[in-house]
Amino acid sequence: MNALAERHVALVGNPNCGKTALFNLLTGSRQKVANYAGVTVERKEGRFTAPSGRTVRVLDLPGAYSLQAASLDEAITFDVISGRRADELAPELLVCVVDATNLRLHLRFVLELLALGKPTIVAVNLMDVARRRGIEIDLVRLQQALGVPVVDTIAVKHGGAKALIDLMDRNELPRLPPISVTGDLHLRVRQLLADAVRMPTQTARIDDALDRWLLHPVFGLLTLAAIMFLIFQAVYAWATPLMDLIDAGTVAVGEWVGAHLPEGPLASLLVDGVIAGTGGVIIFLPQILILFAFILALEETGYLPRAAFLLDRMMSSAGLSGRSFIPLLSSFACAIPGIMATRSIQDPRDRLATILVAPLMTCSARLPVYALLIAAFIPQQTVWGVFNQQGLVLFALYFAAVLSALLVSWVMKQWRRGSDEHPLMLELPSYRLPHLRDLLIGLWERAMIFLKRVGGIILASTVLLWFLLSFPGAPADATGPAIDYSFAGRIGHAMAVVFAPLGFTWQICIALIPGLAAREVAVASLATVYAVAAVDEEAAAEALGTLISSDWSLATALSLLVWYIYAPMCLSTLATIKRETNSWRQMGFATFYLFALAYVASLITYQLVSRLT
């Protein structure tokens, strides 16, 4: 039996210091991710066994620039290390991770942390990069000046944290006198740098060379546009083989279950409800992971803060800030992580505006609806001898969503205009190559979040829809289709009165119901409503496209496309807004304005197109 008590360690540091990479190196796959109680800030915890046999519990705290909290992330970090959270045991040892190539910024946070008087180790990370740049850091002199142990780490190298692990494994924790944070901290940092650091240049030559192009007001924006184009092309092109494989697997499982169960309600529930509904959602996982892979890679390289800097002036004129770029970019995959990412925005007004417009970004769950309607109603032909007409319509839907988000945020800015402006303050980290291990761990975490969502609200909504469509059965003397007598049929006919001015049929109204739970099930819902029978999803989509192209007018199809630009994406998104803002009022406002925009825009589209065709 191990007699050594478990040690509780917290990793702290500025964003972009390599803290999470060090956490991954220490704990590997022995991690669990959750949220802190009462907030949606991510909580990452892992364990490893030290050479002595001691178990070390490691907590990866959110990145912070200062203990004078200006954002939700910083507030959580300060509360945890100071023992103010009742649901989190205060760590007995702090490991402050700093970037060896940017000590000027990171040492200021070290001084603030040491003032707390808690046992602390300073881990100087990215030492290999610093050496390549000719930066000389005297760790002994830095340790003497700070009064705490200072070690070097290379988080992307196997064995790159050995010295740190040895220190964490000691029986005696580091001791230090409390350090006052009064006076000029910047002056004290300059003194530390002059005493222990020799730098040939303030920034690496390659950083300066890249920034001359990537931060250029013209070439920089063109480069950003090219990167965005590449990302969205990859989302469609690279995901197709994997989506086909998932689709084939779902069909095979459904056929196997159907063949081994007698016909009846149970077989229908499992095959048409559980398996088909779950498969119809999981099929989008490759698209989401490809998008997140690009986002994580861009973040690791240090490019995303530069993209935020480039877009700050344009976004500020619309009532947002450059910091809104990353959350809105994430919302193209799913609005939920996009809304959660707003916690890094310090200004409360900018953060709220970003939260409220994030649902307008065209998430991947809308793609099946767009693909179905565009293929059914937009001819496959070339425009101006170069562009595909269907592709132009899809681009127009994305553009309309982005433009609408900017207009809505501009209106909110006029409505909630403050007395002061908050300039964008960003650290531009050094460029570096992303590490494969960290990318894979990040993708795994996001895949698990997505799959847990599938196992929850989406699966429940699919089963509920199956029940509403199946019961009660048609009476013996029924003359119409059975669906007319079901609960769903009755609900659809009642809703059609409200949505008739938009051109929506009662079948469309039924499909809107599960669409509130998750956009992903909208196409499957339409197929079920229209009683489409096909051997796989692709054939179902083709058969459904043929049916709706003969049953709907062009005005109805375009009206429904416009509806999906604006209508709230899912109940989970609205619940996330509630959790992030801690306000039923803000969630209610988001619900009202999104539905109002969707109804008015669809109404105008239907009435206008009806008169022109």
- Separation of alpha carbons 356 and 76, rounded Å: 23
Residues of the chain above pLDDT 70, percent: 82
The helix/strand/coil state of 149 is coil
Kindly report the average pLDDT of the chain as a whole number: 80
* pLDDT for position 1: 41
Range 263-269 average pLDDT = 74
Per-residue pLDDT reduced to its tens digit, 526-584: 766 665 334 444 455 456 777 788 889 999 999 999 999 998 867 778 888 887 887 88
Q: Whole-model pTM above 0.75?
A: no
Per-residue pLDDT reduced to its tens digit, 568-592: 867 778 888 887 887 889 999 999 9
Between 7 and 429, name the one with better pLDDT: 7
Per-residue pLDDT reduced to its tens digit, 501-510: 999 988 888 8
Instruction: Give the confidence band of 260 by pLDDT, cuts at 50, 70, 90.
Output: confident
Helix, strand, coil in percent for the chain, rounding step 5: 65, 10, 30
- CA–CA distance from 509 to each of 519, 548, 560 (Å)? 14, 14, 11
* pLDDT for position 535: 40
Range 243-262 average pLDDT = 81
Instruction: Give the confidence band of 372 by pLDDT, cuts at 50, 70, 90.
Output: confident
Between 480 and 295, name the one with better pLDDT: 295
Which residues, 6 or more positions from 349, have their beta carbon under 8 angstroms from its beta carbon?
A: 416, 418
| Torsion sign, CA atoms 7, 8, 11, 12 | negative
Scan for tokens 């109804």, then name that residue.
599
Which residues, 6 or more positions from 32, have their beta carbon under 8 angstroms from its beta carbon?
A: 44, 45, 46
Paired with 57 in beta bridges are 8, 47
* pLDDT for position 182: 61
* pLDDT for position 517: 63
* pLDDT for position 418: 54
- Amino acid at the residue 12: V
Range 423-446 average pLDDT = 75
* pLDDT for position 532: 37
> Picking from 62-76, 230-244, 384-398, 534-548, which range would have the lowest pLDDT averaged per residue?
534-548
* pLDDT for position 455: 60
Backbone φ, ψ for residue 353 (5° rounding):
-60, -40
If one counts every other C-beta atom within 10 angstroms of the C-beta of residue 612, the result is 8
